[in-house]
A = this chain, B = another copy of it.
């Protein structure tokens, strides 16, 4: 099997076992309140590229973490990501009607149920992290919970979304844009990577620092590539609706740096991410492959 096929098989296996875990552990649609449980499942099941769960598993491999613990952490991080999309799509925020080819949660279930589905998905993430055994040392498990709470909160993802709202329509400098994205997208990506690693053997301070360097570079790269893809939909396909970011008058890397420079920047971040891993042995392979996948993706 050549390397890309091997990576594809690895990521498909993880996506498949994640889907299975979510199917079994999300509240079943047959029990009350049924409409809420349907809305929660609609928001989480059969969705997306599952980048954060893949990062949890790849970082777990680096630290030789047990698969059972990684599964729970991956699913919990994905619940937080899914809830943030449900709330982000609400009319009071981005007012989106389509997500992953399906109607958004509030279009399908109404705004009130979408609001509650997001709220209860967040609670469920912390329920899972506290009820499954994740580490022989319960204090390490408490620290995993704290990492996810910090990454979700006002100094993490939620704070980044607020900065995005407060900045819409204003001109951002590159450092301001970076500060926003390190929270908005970066915090949860960083948490996925560090939580995955923290399920395994203890890292040295130096390893911790290098892994954080990888996580920061990759979180930013993810967003830069997002901006480039959004802008290219506009540039390449003439006559199509302009990119969503430009339409919403949002600051983007492509807008501030120009498209070519943004592409160069994403490749520079990929180099930084890969270099940060050099201290680790062959167990770094999946994290390297994921960095390549994230920067070179076409959607």
A33 touches which of B36, B84, B93, B159 (Cβ 8 Å): B159
* Contact partners of A119 in chain B: CB under 8 A: 83-84, 87, 118-119, 122, 152, 158
Would you call A233 an interface residue if the criterion is a C-beta within 8 Å of the partner chain's C-beta atoms?
no
Residue pair A159, B127 in contact (C-beta under 8 Å)? no
- A11-19, A108-116, A206-214, A272-280 - the one binding chain B: A108-116
A123 touches which of B35, B92, B118, B152 (Cβ 8 Å): B152
User: Nearest residue in B to A83 (C-beta to C-beta)?
Assistant: B119
Would you call A166 an interface residue if the criterion is a C-beta within 8 Å of the partner chain's C-beta atoms?
yes
Which residues of chain A from 153 to 198 have a CB within 8 Å of any chain B CB? 153-156, 158-159, 161-163, 165-166
Whether A153 contacts B166 in the complex (CB less than 8 A), given A116-B158, A119-B122, A158-B119, comes out as: no
Give the A interface residue count (CB, 8 A): 53
Residue pair B162, A149 in contact (C-beta under 8 Å)? no
In the docked arrangement, what's the CA distance between A263 and B183, Å?
51
User: Nearest residue in B to A125 (C-beta to C-beta)?
Assistant: B149
Residue pair B153, A120 in contact (C-beta under 8 Å)? yes
In the docked arrangement, what's the CA distance between A152 and B125, Å?
12
Residue pair B116, A162 in contact (C-beta under 8 Å)? yes
In the docked arrangement, what's the CA distance between A37 and B143, Å?
24
Residue pair A150, B138 in contact (C-beta under 8 Å)? no
* Contact partners of A74 in chain B: CB under 8 A: none
Would you call A7 an interface residue if the criterion is a C-beta within 8 Å of the partner chain's C-beta atoms?
no
Residue pair B130, A145 in contact (C-beta under 8 Å)? yes
Can you spell out 7 A-B residue pairs with CB atoms less than 8 angstroms apart? A33-B154, A36-B154, A120-B153, A120-B154, A123-B158, A126-B126, A130-B146
Additional 10 contacts, C-beta under 8 A, given A33-B162, A113-B165: A27-B154, A33-B166, A36-B162, A93-B112, A113-B162, A123-B152, A123-B153, A130-B142, A138-B142, A145-B145
